[in-house]
Structure 1
């Protein structure tokens, strides 16, 4: 009798394992199945440079009708889109902080889509601002700009585009960041904006489900060498120093300089015509999957390398106390050793 029970348990265990594997395989095949591009219309914000610029070109190349929102349609990046993309791509002057700009963009889209296109299939909220520097250093203008663009700008675009998205039974893609999953020293306001965007997206996903609208977050890692996210770093640094009072300058002098030296030496700051590297093809096809997969994931974490992908996976499995320890240790290691407030030298200006 005992032997029979043991055999039955083995059979049940084997059946459970095989059944689980088949379900996983079947689900994977369903999720990977993609819709046809057809005549689908999408709006992408922040297309002057970086991720938005490359994404607009890529999605245009696979057949989407792209409305590329640019902060300045006369900028070099916007003009390159005009030359390098098809005639199907249309530039839209779009500052996501301004109601009149977003209203005009929505009106322009309505005027330039055909009745059979049935509204907007996708809105990709990509426009973003990142300022590096500890919270006490950052000016209020720098803090508020990150919140206004990264969070409120995305919310404004979605709010005004929702009627078109509902008509198109479409998707909303919010470009968040791994900084919306973990807090990184030196990125306090940026992390705050991305954490808030994650929470907003989670709620909106549930609210829009009844309209068959999918809300997805894409969480890139550090692709700063392939984007222009930190081209204003030196100007931001000088603005921080300029607004510090004498006490703060004396206290942080060496540390402040060491921090910004470490960022500058990492090789991704400063104005330049082209990034040091390009976004990998897998990065762009992940956005394609988010837009076209029949059963997309709610979140796509995109890391620049296999090792960083493994690290991020492990970090999500660790208790927060342990992950905080590793992040803090890495931050300390990235800075040269210096004593706070002990320098006798005077720094009236810091320029690069």
Structure 2
């Protein structure tokens, strides 16, 4: 049997890096992509440590031309892992609409650009699309309005696409981690300086930041999420939704059985209360 190829976005750190290495160790030819390959040092070191080689390429998910150029150099594609994304902390009155659009470009439209370009190749291979979303794609969270909006959009899009893609032999799944111990939080820029411009929302923001630090103190390891993604790559019939930890299952489960929304509101209101 020929070696199967998977394209993974956002592999410079965190889940993407761990998944690229784990997939290569499992025998996949891995096209590991990132916006700036000058930041591939950690990925290269991890690959060397694991004794595997990766095909590292430039891909900016927000740039359709970059996506098309990357995919044009691939003859066979059996799977895509949409992992690239960016967090964002803020609230509507204290940020611009342009800030919100930027979050949507990375976390929603970036996923669409890559998936759209990959689908012809995936139809040919009867392949699959795995998209790393978040429990924030199920449960709206304080000060994550733009981020959760983007992740909700991805979840709705993929849930709608899944039965359509299946008619051509392509499976679609979403993978929902909770807190993951990676550079994601530091890249968001969460710090106490955020309260300087929070105005009347400062007390709520301080409560949220305290809760967030506690949540990430017990975060899931990226390697654990990566192992589950690699298992999905090999699964004969992958499920549509995978929650990657017991905490994620409990959190998302609150929403999935919350028919009137009261349980979620009670839960998240506590995050922003003294």
Structures share fold, TM-score greater than 0.5: yes
1:333-344 paired onto structure 2 within 5 Å: 333=273, 337=274
Residue of structure 1 in register with 2:222 after alignment: 279
CA contact (8 A) 2:82 2:111 kept: yes
Residue of structure 2 in register with 1:59 after alignment: 23
Name which of 194, 197, 203 aligns with 1:255. 203
Task: Note closer, same or farther for the CA distance 1:169–1:261 as it changes in structure 2 (3 Å cut).
Answer: closer
Moved more, 283-292 or 90-99: 283-292
Name which of 94, 99, 120 aligns with 2:64. 99
Matches of 1:143 and 1:85, distance apart in 2: 39
Q: Does 2:254 align with 1:324?
A: no
Residue of structure 1 in register with 2:99 after alignment: 142
CA radius of gyration, larger in: 1
For the residue of structure 2 that corresponds to 1:211, the secondary structure is coil
1:167, distance to aligned residue in structure 2 (A): 1.6
CA RMSD of aligned residues (A): 2.9
Task: Note closer, same or farther for the CA distance 1:202–1:310 as it changes in structure 2 (3 Å cut).
Answer: closer
Task: Note closer, same or farther for the CA distance 1:85–1:155 as it changes in structure 2 (3 Å cut).
Answer: farther
Structure 2 unpaired stretches of 5+: none
Moved more, 124-133 or 256-265: 256-265
Q: Does 2:161 align with 1:204?
A: yes
TM-score, normalised by the number of residues in structure 2: 0.87
CA contact (8 A) 1:46 1:126 kept: yes
Residue of structure 2 in register with 1:301 after alignment: 243
Matches of 1:212 and 1:94, distance apart in 2: 26
TM-score, normalised by the number of residues in structure 1: 0.69
Matches of 1:326 and 1:239, distance apart in 2: 25
CA contact (8 A) 2:19 2:223 kept: no
Task: Note closer, same or farther for the CA distance 1:66–1:308 as it changes in structure 2 (3 Å cut).
Answer: closer
Matches of 1:264 and 1:294, distance apart in 2: 37
CA contact (8 A) 1:45 1:70 kept: yes
1:143, distance to aligned residue in structure 2 (A): 1.6
Per-residue CA deviations over 1:99-120 (Å, capped at 9, x if unaligned) read 221122112323xxxxxxxx21
Q: Does 2:90 align with 1:126?
A: no
Between the two structures, name the one with larger relative contact order (CA 8 Å, sep ≥ 6).
2
